[in-house]
Amino acid sequence: MTRETLMPSILIIGGGLAGLFTALKLAPLPCTVLTPVPLGQGASSAWAQGGVAAAIGEGDSIDSHVQDTLVAGAGLCDEAMVRLMVSEASERILDLLAFGVPFDRDLEGKLVQSREAAHSHHRVVRVRGDMAGRKIMEALITAVRETPSIRVIEGAEATELLTGTDGAIIGARAVKDGRVLRLEASHVVLATGGAGQVFAVTTNPKEAWGSGLAMAYQAGARLVNMEFVQFHPTALDIGRDPAPLATEALRGEGAKLVDRHGERFMPSLHRDAELAPRDVVARGVFASIQAGNGAFLDCREAIGAKFPEMFPTVHAACIAAGIDPVNGLIPIAPAAHYHMGGIAVDADGAAMGVKGLYAVGEVAHTGVHGANRLASNSLLEAVVFGARVAEALKGVEAGTVQMQDDGPAQPAPADDAAFFQRIRHLMQAQCAVLRDAKGLQAALGEIAPCRERLGHAGALARIASLMVEAALSREESRGGHSRTDFLASWPDKVWSIQQRGSGLRVERLSGP
């Protein structure tokens, strides 16, 4: 079968901000959205605490937002894509308002914007302090439920992309209620989110383990810069998986990072101390924990009694763990938070290497984040490129995605869950905040043999191996990637690592 013989139809895999926004912008063109859990659950989007970056405030400019993004990306951003994203921000904020998102406004009715680390201006639109993600998703889910052209299939986990004899997309397989579903589609949009769960300590939901990357790679798509993972410096260290986040805005309000002796450790590491770039703070927190001194957020003086009202989400997580953030210290640790690498796509979200495949949101590599993401640029990326994918698909005379039951799903191997956890712990130990060749090679030696396994552990091993191989190949420290055996970065020799099939290709972006 080839794509040409199929009835045109659009399948979106993933029901986070990227997937739902794409579906809404496609309307009235029909599409089908798959999610493994009920809408609103299992998506990082609903957990976002900061908001959406958009240069729409007085005194701010597109140039300034572009510049801040390029600086954070440490030489690896695609400047044209950054400019495109930043320039389309205001229209997408208007879309979100039209879908009913209750962004905070001041007494004059203007949108309130907060300032986050490494932004030169107050630029982040938010909802009631730290509720942005939840409120954005609530509004979009309501809009999706009211849009007849969008069919949502909840409880369906995609496991494989289907390609025709010519290598182009013809659909996907998914598992729902123990049965295999075969879904025929001429256009598949992957919106499966991030890959934080590749690591044992992460802020990402259980569903964010990189299944979209695994499916795309298997289908022949090109993955780019897999080694770049952003570790958030202040996840709550309370033994929960995933680890709840203590938003950066706490430090923005003046909270301090201290060790168990009450000593601040950031001032000696960076002139901006607690407000240094995320990767610098993550390394500082990691080093303090490794030295046996622990790491804590001290919000007592800066926030104190205002904590419950200003940061309701963080407050609730602390209280549930028996921590009183008003009067005591909050234990924290760095956690895998955002994956800068992903499926290489063009400005319309079309994946390179597989006709009919699109990717949007965190699973995609558009080039806007480079080696390190600027805070609150990811929700922006999801809506800007979601709208662009929808626009690119507008010409498709799409009908309904055809589905058939392909029989009972094969049960996962009995030791699937155990191997899955083993790989996560290996990645945490050897490929997290600080990396070196010895540790990376040791991890690869143990993970690589698992790549042939069936079930989730096999797919996770394939993704983890790609990350480790790319981390080994990048013999420098840049952005979120820190090699203790290669501390310097090579400013005159900037390259991007591309992985496809059995090959690993290095594309020189600048330098001799």
Ligand X SMILES: Cc1cc2nc3c(=O)[nH]c(=O)nc-3n(C[C@H](O)[C@H](O)[C@H](O)COP(=O)(O)OP(=O)(O)OC[C@H]3O[C@@H](n4cnc5c(N)ncnc54)[C@H](O)[C@@H]3O)c2cc1C
Catalytic machinery residues? 278
Q: Which stretch binds ligand X (CB under 6 A): 9-17, 66-74, 319-327, 395-403?
A: 9-17
**Integer Cα distance of 155 and 382 in angstroms:** 23
Which of 400, 383, 388 lies closest to 20, judged by CA? 383
Q: Which is nearer to ligand X, 158 or 276 (CB)?
A: 158
The yes or no reply on residue 382 touching ligand X (CB under 6 A) is yes
**Integer Cα distance of 454 and 474 in angstroms:** 30
The yes or no reply on residue 233 touching ligand X (CB under 6 A) is no
- Minimum distance of ligand X from residue 430's CB (angstroms): 22
Among 50, 73, 342, 356, binds ligand X (CB under 6 A): 50
x/- site string to ligand X, residues 237 to 276, per CB under 6 A? Answer: --------x-------------------------------
Q: Which is nearer to ligand X, 32 or 477 (CB)?
A: 32
Contact 348, 359 (CB under 8 A): no
Task: Calculate the CA 496 to chain-centre distance.
Answer: 19
**Integer Cα distance of 284 and 317 in angstroms:** 24
Residue the block writes with tokens 């055996």? 485
Which of 118, 129, 43 lies closest to 74, judged by CA? 118
The yes or no reply on residue 352 touching ligand X (CB under 6 A) is no
- Minimum distance of ligand X from residue 512's CB (angstroms): 35
Q: Which is nearer to ligand X, 300 or 337 (CB)?
A: 337
DSSP, collapsed to helix, strand or coil, labels residue 499 as strand
Which of 102, 73, 129, 93 lies closest to 375, judged by CA? 73
Which of 278, 209, 198 lies closest to 245, judged by CA? 278
The yes or no reply on residue 193 touching ligand X (CB under 6 A) is yes
The yes or no reply on residue 19 touching ligand X (CB under 6 A) is yes
Q: Residue 233: what are its φ and ψ, rounded to 5°?
A: -70, -25
Q: Which is nearer to ligand X, 132 or 299 (CB)?
A: 132
Q: Which stretch binds ligand X (CB under 6 A): 28-36, 286-294, 419-427, 444-452?
A: 28-36
Q: Which is nearer to ligand X, 2 or 147 (CB)?
A: 147
- Minimum distance of ligand X from residue 234's CB (angstroms): 11
Of all helices (H) and strands (E), which one includes residue 257?
Answer: strand 256-258
The yes or no reply on residue 139 touching ligand X (CB under 6 A) is no
Among 18, 72, 466, 468, binds ligand X (CB under 6 A): 18
- Minimum distance of ligand X from residue 421's CB (angstroms): 18
Q: How far is CA 167 from CA 2, 348, 499, in A?
A: 8, 20, 18
**Integer Cα distance of 104 and 112 in angstroms:** 5
Q: Which residues bind ligand X (CB under 6 A)?
A: 13-19, 34-37, 42-45, 47-51, 132-133, 157-158, 191-194, 203-204, 207-208, 211-212, 245, 338, 361-363, 376-379, 382
